[in-house]
Structure 1
Amino acid sequence: MNLYPIEAGNFKLDGGAMFGVVPKSLWQRTNPADNNNMIDIAARCLLIENGDRLSLIDTGLGNKQTEKFFSHYYPWGDHSLDKSLKTQGFHRDDITDVFLTHLHFDHCGGAIKWNKDRTGYEPAFKNANFWSNKDHWQWATKPNAREKASFLKENILPIEESGKLKFLERKENENYTKANEFDFGVLFVDGHTDKQMIPHLNYKGKTLVFMADLLPTAGHIPLPYVMGFDTRPLLTLSEKDKFLKKAADEGYYLFMQHDAHNEIITLKNTEKGVRLDNTFTFNELFNS
C-alpha cells in the first residue's frame, strides 16, 4: 500500500461558525481570522494505492458551482485536485474508488461535474465506484432544514443515477467496522452528521486516521471547541472525548483534512486534558 496526500483546494469559512460557542478571543489564538472573520480551511484528500485499486478519500468542493456560491467561501491558493494528482503521477481516470466520509458539499462536491455541453451532470471519476453507507445516504437525500444547504442535490443524486453507488456494510449498532473493500477500519460518528465515516489506516507501522469533520483543525482539540455546523454538538463532545483519549494513548497520527497549516498531528495527555503534541508534514513523516 502507498498513500499520497491530495490537496483539492483551499477556502475560508466563518470562524464563529467553525467554533460554535467558543469566544473569538480564544479560538483566534490558533486560527486567526481575516477582516471578514473568515479562517483558512483546506480540502485535503487522501489517495490510496493498493494493488490494482486506486482509492480517493473525499474530493473537495469541485468547480461546478456558481460564481456566487464560491464567493461565500473565498477560494485561495493554487491547489487543485487535478494538479495534485498529476504531481503524484496519477490522473482522475486512474481512480477506481471514491470513498466519501460524508456528503457535505466540501467533501463530495468534486465527485460530480458538468457534462460536456453543461446540460446535466456526470461522475468526475469515470472509472470509479462511489462509496457511502445506507444510513448516511438516507440522511443526506432527505435532509433536515439545518443541513439542507450542505447536502446539494447536484452533488449527490447523480452518483446514484450513474449506477456506481456502493454502500459500506455495517452491522446495526456497530460503530467501528473493518472495510474489507479498502483494507482499513472505519469509525462511524454521529455528532457532526449522521454516520460520518472516519478511516483508520495502518501504514508503515503507524495508525493514520483521516479526521474529516470529527476534528476539523488542530485548534479544535479542546473538547468544548465544537463547530456550529454539528447537528448533535453534545454527542460530538462525547465522541471527541473518547476518540482523542484513545488517539493520545495509542499514538495515532491524525491526517487533518481541513487544517490548512497542519497536515498531520499527534496528541498527548496533559493536566488540562488531551492537547497537541507534534505536527508533521506527510513527507517528513513517511518519506524522509
Structure 2
Amino acid sequence: MKLYPIETGNFKLDGGAMFGVVPKTLWTRTNPADASNRIDLAARSLLIEEGNRLLLIDTGMGNKQSDKFFGYYDMWGDHTLEKSLKAHGFHKDDITDVFMTHLHFDHCGGSIQWNKDRTGYEPAFKNAKFWTNKDHWQWATEPNNREKASFLKENLLPMEESGQLHFIERTNTSDFQLSSELNFDILYVDGHTDKQMIPHLKYKGKTLVFMADLLPTVGHIPLPFVMGYDTRPLLTLAEKEKFLNKAAANDFYLYLEHDAHNEICTVQETEKGIRLKGIHTFKDLFE
C-alpha cells in the first residue's frame, strides 16, 4: 500500500471570490493577490496504490478546453497530471478507479479528453471506473443557474456514455476498502455543492483527509472565511465548524487540494477558535 501526491496543474482565481465577504486586508495575509486580485491555487490529486488497483482522487482541469477558457484562470507552473503520474512510474492507462469528490470542472475535467482526431471526447482513463454518487450526479447534470458554468457537459456525459460511470452507495464504501492497511470513509457535505464527498483515509497510524472544497487553503481555516462560490454558505459554516472541531480533537492531517504552497496542515483549538497548528509535506509524513 502506498499513497502519492499528484500535481495536475496550478491556476489563479479572484481572491474576493475565494473568500466571499471577508475583507481583502484579512485574506491577503495568508493568500497574497496579484495586480489583478487573483491568488495562487493548485489542483492537487491523490493516488492510492494497493495490489493491482490504482485509485485516483480528483483529476484537475484537464487540457481539452480552449485557450480562451484557460485564459480566465491564468495557468502557471509546469505541473500536469501525466507528468506527475509518470514521475511515480505510472500512466493514465494504469488507473483502475477515479473517485471524484464532486463534478466541478477543476475537480473532474482531467477525467475526459479529446479523442484522437478531436471530433469528440473519450475517457482519459480507459481502464478505470469513475465514481460519484447518484444525488450529486443528478445535481450536476441538471444544474442550477449558479453552478451551470462549473458543471460542463463535456466533462460529464462522456463518463456515462462510456459505461464507466458508477455510483457510490452512501451506506456502503466497500469498493474502497482496498486492504486492512487503509480504511476509506466518506463525509458528505452540502454547503459548497450538493453531496460533495470528503474522503477520510486511515493510513500508517494517521487520518489523512482529502479536503476538496470544504477547506481549499490554509487561509480558509477561520470559520467565516467561506468561498463566494459556495451555494449554501451558512451550511458550509456549520459543516466546517463541526469538521474542524473533530479534526483538532483527533489530530487529523488535512490534505489541501487547492493550496498551491502548502500540501498538508493540522489544526488546533485556541481561544480564538480553530486555528492552524502545523504545516507538513507529504514526503515528511509518509515517506
TM-score, normalisation: structure 2: 0.97
CA distance in 2, matches of 1:50, 1:227: 35
> Are 1:182 and 2:170 an aligned pair?
no
SS in 2 for 1:33: coil
CA distance in 2, matches of 1:202, 1:253: 10
Give matches, 1:13-162, under 5 Å.
13-162=13-162
CA distance in 2, matches of 1:207, 1:228: 29
Task: Note the alpha carbon deviations across 1:210-259, whole angstroms, 9 max, x for none.
Answer: 00000000000000000000000000000000000000000000000000
SS in 2 for 1:4: strand
SS in 2 for 1:249: helix
CA distance in 2, matches of 1:136, 1:187: 14
Give matches, 1:137-286, under 5 Å.
137-171=137-171, 179-183=173-177, 184-286=184-286
CA distance in 2, matches of 1:254, 1:51: 25
CA distance in 1, matches of 2:169, 2:49: 22
SS in 1 for 2:175: coil
CA distance in 1, matches of 2:175, 2:214: 23
User: How far did residue 108 of structure 1 move?
Assistant: 0.3
Task: Note the alpha carbon deviations across 1:60-117, whole angstroms, 9 max, x for none.
Answer: 0000000000000000001111100011111110000000000000000000000011
SS in 2 for 1:181: helix
Aligned length: 281
Superposed CA RMSD: 0.6
CA distance in 2, matches of 1:85, 1:170: 29
Corresponding letter in the other structure for 2:229: F
CA distance in 1, matches of 2:98, 2:187: 17
Corresponding letter in the other structure for 1:180: S
CA distance in 1, matches of 2:170, 2:88: 32
SS in 1 for 2:176: coil
SS in 2 for 1:283: helix
CA distance in 2, matches of 1:79, 1:233: 31
Unaligned 5+ runs, structure 1 = 172-177
TM-score, normalisation: structure 1: 0.97
CA distance in 1, matches of 2:166, 2:131: 5
User: How far did residue 170 of structure 1 move?
Assistant: 1.2
> Which runs of at least 4 in structure 1 moved beyond 3 Å after TM superposition?
none
* Residue aligning to 1:174: none
CA distance in 2, matches of 1:104, 1:81: 17
Task: Note the alpha carbon deviations across 1:120-142, whole angstroms, 9 max, x for none.
Answer: 00000010010000000000000
CA distance in 2, matches of 1:17, 1:283: 31
CA distance in 2, matches of 1:280, 1:182: 26
User: How far did residue 160 of structure 1 move?
Assistant: 0.4
CA distance in 2, matches of 1:179, 1:225: 31
Corresponding letter in the other structure for 2:269: N
CA distance in 2, matches of 1:115, 1:76: 25
Unaligned 5+ runs, structure 2 = 178-183
% same residue: 75
